[in-house]
C-alpha cells in the first residue's frame, strides 16, 4: 500500500498534468477558430471552381482537351495521406492510417506509392514496405501556401509526365467542432464535369459561349488554379479536424485528471484517518498498560 507521502506526490503530479492538458485545450480551441474560418472561406471558392468547370464544359464544343482530364489505365496509383505533425489529438491519426492501410490492401494488385503530409503519417509508413516518394511536414497546424503550391506542382508534374496514372487524397473532412469524416477523393485525373442538357438550361443559353482565344487555352489557365484550390481545401479541412480532435482529447484528459485527483484525495484522507486512528489506539493502549 502506498504511503501518505507517495499519494500526496501523485496528487501533485496529476494536478500538474491537468493544468497542462487544460492549457493545451485552450490553445487548440483558439487554433480551431482560425482554422474553421479558413474552411468556411475555402468551401465557397472550391464550389465556384466546380461550377465554372461545369459551365465551360457545357459551353465547349467537342471533347475537353487538357492533360489533367486524361484518363489512363491505372498501372500505378498515388495516395496523398494527410496526418498531423504532433500527437495528443485522439484518434485523428489512427483513423487516417487505418483507412490508408485498407486502401493499400484493396490496391495490392497494382503498383502504389505514397505522399505523406504530416510527421505522424510519415513516421508510420516509412517503416513499412510501401514506398514514400515525398514528404511534406512541419506545417505547425496552419496553412502554408508556398508549401501547398510545391505539393501541387510535384503531383501535377508527376501525373502529366506519366509517372503515375491516378492520384487520390485521403484526409479528414471537417463537419463541425465535434464531428469529422474521413474523405477519399480523386485528385487527378480530374473528373469530367457533367454537361447538363435539360430544356430549361438550353433556354437560358448555357451552351451559347464564345471562347476567346479558345476553350483549350482557357482550360490551360484555369486548371492549375483548380488543382491548387482542391489541395488547399483538403489541407484546411485536415488542420481544422486536427485542432478539433485535439481540443476534444485534451478536454477528456482534463476531466479524467480531475476525477483522478478527487479519487486520490479520498484515498489520501482515508489513509491519513486510518493512521491517526492507529496512533490514537497506540496511545490509549499504552496508557492502559501503565495503569495496569
Active site residue: 89, 190, 247, 257, which one? Answer: 89
Work out the angle at residue 219's Cα, subtended by the Cα atoms of residues 60 and 144, and round it to the nearest 5 degrees. 145
Contact 14, 257 (CB under 8 A): yes
Closest CA to 82 of 29, 118, 125: 118
Partner residues linked to 112 by β-bridges = 77
89 annotated active-site: yes
Closest CA to 240 of 100, 148, 141, 120: 141
Calculate the dihedral angle through the C-alpha atoms of 22, 26, 29, 30, rounding to the nearest 10 degrees.
Answer: -160
Grid coordinates given for 286: 499504552
Q: Longest Cα pair distance anywhere in the chain, in angstroms?
A: 118
Q: Within its chain, how far is the Cα of 189 from the centroid?
A: 23
List, as one string, the DSSP characters of 141-177: TS--HHHHHHHHHHHHHHHHTTS-SEEEEEEEEEEET
Active site residues: 89
Amino acid at each position: 500500500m502506498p504511503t501518505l507521502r507517495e499519494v500526496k506526490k501523485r496528487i501533485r503530479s496529476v494536478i500538474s498534468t491537468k493544468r497542462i492538458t487544460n492549457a493545451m485545450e485552450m490553445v487548440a480551441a483558439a487554433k480551431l477558430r482560425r482554422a474553421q474560418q479558413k474552411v468556411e472561406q475555402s468551401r465557397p471558392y472550391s464550389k465556384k471552381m466546380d461550377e465554372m468547370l461545369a459551365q465551360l464544359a457545357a459551353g465547349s464544343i467537342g471533347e475537353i482537351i487538357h492533360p489533367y482530364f486524361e484518363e489512363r489505365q491505372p498501372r500505378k496509383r498515388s495516395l496523398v495521406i494527410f496526418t498531423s505533425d504532433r500527437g495528443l489529438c485522439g484518434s485523428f491519426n489512427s483513423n487516417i492510417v487505418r483507412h490508408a492501410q485498407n486502401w493499400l490492401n484493396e490496391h495490392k494488385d497494382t503498383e502504389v506509392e505514397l505522399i505523406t503530409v504530416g510527421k505522424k503519417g510519415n513516421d508510420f509508413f516509412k517503416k513499412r514496405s510501401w514506398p514514400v516518394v515525398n514528404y511534406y511536414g512541419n506545417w505547425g497546424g496552419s496553412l502554408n501556401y508556398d508549401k501547398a503550391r510545391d505539393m501541387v506542382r510535384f503531383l501535377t508534374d508527376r501525373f502529366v509526365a506519366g509517372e503515375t496514372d491516378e492520384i487520390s487524397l485521403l484526409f479528414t473532412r471537417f463537419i463541425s467542432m465535434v464531428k469529422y469524416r474521413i474523405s477519399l477523393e480523386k485528385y487527378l485525373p480530374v473528373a469530367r464535369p457533367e454537361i447538363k442538357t435539360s430544356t430549361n438550361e438550353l433556354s437560358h443559353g448555357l451552351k451559347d459561349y464564345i471562347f476567346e482565344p479558345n476553350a483549350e487555352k482557357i482550360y490551360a489557365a484555369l486548371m492549375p488554379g483548380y488543382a491548387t484550390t482542391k489541395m488547399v481545401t483538403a489541407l484546411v479541412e485536415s488542420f481544422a479536424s486536427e485542432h478539433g480532435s485535439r481540443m476534444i482529447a485534451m478536454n477528456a484528459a482534463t476531466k479524467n485528471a480531475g476525477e483522478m485527483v478527487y479519487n486520490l484525495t479520498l484515498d489520501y484522507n482515508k489513509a491519513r484517518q486510518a493512521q491517526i486512528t492507529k496512533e490514537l489506539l497506540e496511545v490509549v493502549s499504552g496508557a492502559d498498560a501503565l495503569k495496569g
